[in-house]
Structure 1
Amino acid sequence: MKLYLVQHAEALPKETDSKRPLSEKGRNDAAKIAAFLLIADVRVDEVVHSGKARAEQTANILSKDVWSGQAAVEIEGLGPNDSTDHLMHSAEISGGDLMVVGHMPFMAKMAARCLTGSENGMAVAFEPGTVVCLERIDDSETSGGWALNWMQRPSMLGEHKEV
C-alpha cells in the first residue's frame, strides 16, 4: 500500500481572501505536480482532503490524473493541528493506495509518525504543493512500518504552461 501525503499548493493570504483559495502560483504548481504524477503513472484508490478551500482545490486538480477523474472526498481529522491517529488507523487498514491533501504541521507530523513511529521531529521538509510517497512495509524492525519511496516538490519541476 502507498500513502501519498500532499501539502496543499500555495494559497492566497487570509487578508486577501479569508477562505484562502489557491493563488495563481498555487494552481500552476498543483498542475505541475498533476502532470508529474500522470507521467509517473501514479494511480490511487481514493483522494481525500481536509475540506478547506486550498486543500480541496489542490486535491481536485490532482485527482483528475490519479483517480479516474473523480472529485476528491472531504474527510474530518486533516486540519493543521489535528491528531494523526485517525489517518494512521485508516492507512493501516486500507486495502489500497491513498492520497491525502492537507496542511502543515499535520502533514509533517504524519510523515514523521509513519517514518519514525513518533509525530515529534521532522522527517520530511514540505513546501506548498509537495507530494511525499510512503510505502507500507512488513518489516517489524522498522520504527514506523513505512518507508519513504519518493517525494517531489513543484519547485523541482521547472515551468509549467497551463493548457
Structure 2
Amino acid sequence: MRLFLIRHAHALDHEIDAERPISERGQAVTQLVSDHFKKTGQLTPKQVWHSPLQRAFETAADLVSQIGLNSPLVETAGLEPADDPQIVAERMRIYPATHDIAIVGHQPQLSALASLLVTDASRFNLFHFKKNSVMALRRGDDTHAKSGLPRWRVAWHFSPELLPGFGNLVRKS
C-alpha cells in the first residue's frame, strides 16, 4: 500500500481560516503539479482524503480532475493543522493494504503524521511539506515496537520547485 501525503496549494488570506480558497498562484502550481503526475502516472490513489478546510478540498478536487483520476474525494476528520496525527495513523492501520490513498492536508499535521508513520514519534518533525509538495510512503510488513502501528518507508518526496516553469509562476504572482 502507498500513502500520498499532499500539502494544499497556496491560499488567499481570509478572516475565517476554514474558508480560505486557493489563490490564482495556487491554482497555477496545482495545474503544473497535476500535469507532472498525469505524465508520470505516479499518483494513483483509490481515494483522496482531505481536511474540512476549503483550501484542502479545492486542491484535492483540482488534482483529481486535472490528472483524470477516478478517485472519490472524502472529507476526513483528523486532518486539520493542529489535529493529532495518531487519529489518522490508527485509521491507516485498518485501511485495506491493497488500496493506495492520498491525503490532502496542512502543516504541521502532515509533517507530524509522516514522522509518526516512519519513526513512531509524532513530535519529531523530520519532514517539511512545502505547498503542493507530495510525499509517497510505502507500508511495510513490520510494525513499530512501541505503538504497534505499521512501519512506513519513504518512497519519494516531490516538491513543485523541481518542475520546469515553476519559477515563472512564482514571479508572476
1:88 aligned residue: 89
Structure 1, unaligned stretches of length 5 or more?
none
TM norm structure 1: 0.88
SS at match of 1:29: helix
Kept in 1: contact 2:11–2:21 (CA 8 A): yes
Structure 2, unaligned stretches of length 5 or more?
169-173
- In structure 2, do the counterparts of structure 1 residues 40 and 26 end up closer, same or farther at CA, with 3 Å as the change threshold? same
TM norm structure 2: 0.83
For 1:17 and 1:74, how far apart are their aligned partners in 2?
Answer: 17
Q: Letter of the aligned partner of 2:163 in structure 1?
A: L
SS at match of 1:10: coil
Asked if residue 157 in structure 1 is aligned to residue 157 in structure 2, the reply is no
Asked if residue 28 in structure 1 is aligned to residue 39 in structure 2, the reply is no
Asked if residue 19 in structure 1 is aligned to residue 19 in structure 2, the reply is yes
For 2:18 and 2:46, how far apart are their aligned partners in 1?
Answer: 32
For 1:121 and 1:111, how far apart are their aligned partners in 2?
Answer: 10
Kept in 2: contact 1:48–1:99 (CA 8 A): yes
2:69 aligned residue: 67
For 2:5 and 2:160, how far apart are their aligned partners in 1?
Answer: 14
2:171 aligned residue: none
Shift in Å, 1:71:
5.0
Residue-pair matches, total? 161
For 1:18 and 1:8, how far apart are their aligned partners in 2?
Answer: 13
Asked if residue 101 in structure 1 is aligned to residue 104 in structure 2, the reply is yes
What CA deviation, in whole Å up to 9, does each residue of 1:37-91 have, x standing for no partner?
Answer: 21221211100111211100100111222631x5522111111001112211221
Percent identity, aligned pairs only?
Answer: 29
Asked if residue 52 in structure 1 is aligned to residue 53 in structure 2, the reply is yes
Asked if residue 146 in structure 1 is aligned to residue 148 in structure 2, the reply is no
Q: Letter of the aligned partner of 2:59 in structure 1?
A: T
SS at match of 1:99: strand
* Aligned match for 1:123, one of 123, 126, 134: 126
For 1:16 and 1:27, how far apart are their aligned partners in 2?
Answer: 20
What CA deviation, in whole Å up to 9, does each residue of 1:120-149 have, x standing for no partner?
Answer: 122222111111100001135798601000
For 1:66 and 1:132, how far apart are their aligned partners in 2?
Answer: 20
Kept in 1: contact 2:3–2:101 (CA 8 A): yes
Shift in Å, 1:15:
5.5
Kept in 1: contact 2:47–2:72 (CA 8 A): no
1:6 aligned residue: 6
More helix by share: 2
